[in-house]
Amino acid sequence: MSDSPAGEAPQYSATRLQQALAEDPRTTELGIKVTVRPGHVFLRGQVMSAGRRDKLAEVVGEQAPDLTIHNEVRVAEIGEPQDEETLG
């Protein structure tokens, strides 16, 4: 018996989960890497806010409720430019 969603091979369930993240209106994320291991799913990448990162885990949890989610997605740090840029 497989620990992957619906008994799928890990590479197929990872693809399905990436597709869900891309298509779900709460996330619409294309740049998140999904890796499935027995009993676990790992999310890696970068998003613009902590809320967005939390939504990724929410969507994956709905699609693969039997897997433990390891949300390793980082929140991008966006700051003001340090120096004024001169265009000439």
Mean pLDDT per 10-residue segment, the chain (88 residues): 54 88 96 94 96 96 94 88 69
Specify the DSSP class assigned to residue 44: E
Q: Residue 78: what pLDDT?
A: 78
**Stated pTM of the model:** 0.77
CATH for 5-75?
A: 3.30.1340
The full set of domain ranges for the chain reads 5-75
Closest CA to 52 of 24, 80, 79, 15: 24
